[in-house]
Copies of this chain bind each other. A is one copy, B any other.
Amino acid sequence: MRVLGVDPGLTRLGIAVVDGGTGRAVTAVAVDVIRTPVDDDLAVRLLKVADGVEAWLDRHRPGVVAIERVFSQHNVRTAMGTAQAAGVVALAAARRGLPVMFHTPSEVKAAVTGSGRADKAQVTMMVTKLLRLTEAPKPADAADALALAICHLWRAPVRNRMAEAEARAAEFAKAHRARLAAAAAQARSGSGTVAK
């Protein structure tokens, strides 16, 4: 499975493509940062982000897009811009019929370092090691995009197994409700017989 990982942002958007192999094997295909000028209008910045991401989707043809989930940050304006950048990335993926998954920063950190509270240096170190890179990816946004793609690859099997288990449970509950309904109908027709 090939994942496009995106650490969204307007000033710097981390973007990476990682291939998953058997087990936990992961290989970096590409990583970079898309930047847009602070002085540009918001709409123009969003257009530059969208065009940049479209070019990556064309070039690398991922099967899924993983985006870091944005929560409120200290600076509301920055958080809104980040959310909007994430939105146009999700839109670009949806336009191509690609599934889009969101992962929280702590899920990503936990996946690659084992701790949801790891700092940026630890994330970068583990990403460099896991992908057998000769040098650490820079800036942090690039490392985060790689970490996000790895997180997605490693969480996907767990998520699929959970979805299967949920589907089986729903199937069981449905069959159980049907049996209950049949029993109730039988009881009603039985009481009807008695009442006659």
Q: Which residues of A contact B (CB under 8 A)?
A: 41-44, 46-47, 50, 70-72, 76, 79-80, 83-88, 90-91, 93-95, 100, 102
Contact check: which of B72, B84, B102 meets A76 at CB < 8 Å?
Answer: B72
Please report the C-alpha to C-alpha distance between residue A87 and residue B86 in the assembled complex, in whole angstroms: 9
Given contacts A42-B90, A70-B80, 5 further A-B contacts (CB under 8 A): A41-B94, A43-B100, A47-B95, A80-B83, A84-B86
How far, in angstroms, from A50 to B91 measured CA to CA in the complex?
8
Give Cα distance in the complex from A74 to B115, angstroms: 30
* With A76-B71, A76-B72 as contacts: A43 and B94 at CB distance below 8 Å: yes
- Cβ of A50 to closest chain B Cβ, rounded Å: 6
